[in-house]
Amino acid sequence: MERMMAYRWPGNIRELQNVVERAAILARGPLLTLDPHELGQEGGTPGNGGQGHKSGPGETLADIERVHIRRILDSTGGVIEGPRGAARILGLNPNTLRSRLKKLGIGASLQ
């Protein structure tokens, strides 16, 4: 709860909804737990302002999107579709996610 309250929620309510849905889908018991990386809090330290990835001066939006999508794909074991898939977590249609993967040059071997 502290991590969620300390996070700045740059994606607003949609991001909050995705985080809560992901926690519910991945829950192994009655309590929801968040992966420290879920809110961009490397190592689980709350209150870093939600800046798990700091962009550099020459970094494009596509670079940032690529990093975020790869992080989500890693957390799902490369699964794109289904209730625990990356598309659902990202709030995208699976075909839309596949198109973005192709456009960004991410993992041609993903399903």
Q: Is residue 110 part of a domain?
A: no
Q: Is residue 111 part of a domain?
A: no
- Full domain range(s) for residue 86: 2-104
Q: Is residue 15 part of a domain?
A: yes
Q: Is residue 23 part of a domain?
A: yes
**What's the total number of domains in the chain?**
1
Amino acid letter, 86:
A
Question: What does 35-64 look like in DSSP terms, one character per residue?
Answer: -TTTTT-GGG-S-STT-SSPPPTT--HHHH
Q: Is residue 90 part of a domain?
A: yes
The token pair at 24 is: 């519910």
Q: Is residue 95 part of a domain?
A: yes
Q: What angle do CA 52, 53, 55 make, to 5 degrees?
A: 145
Q: Is residue 84 part of a domain?
A: yes
pLDDT digit string (tens) for the chain, length 111 residues: 777 887 777 667 777 887 888 788 777 778 887 776 666 554 433 333 344 455 566 678 888 888 889 888 888 888 999 988 999 999 999 999 999 999 988 874 555
Distance (Å, whole) CA 89 – CA 73: 10
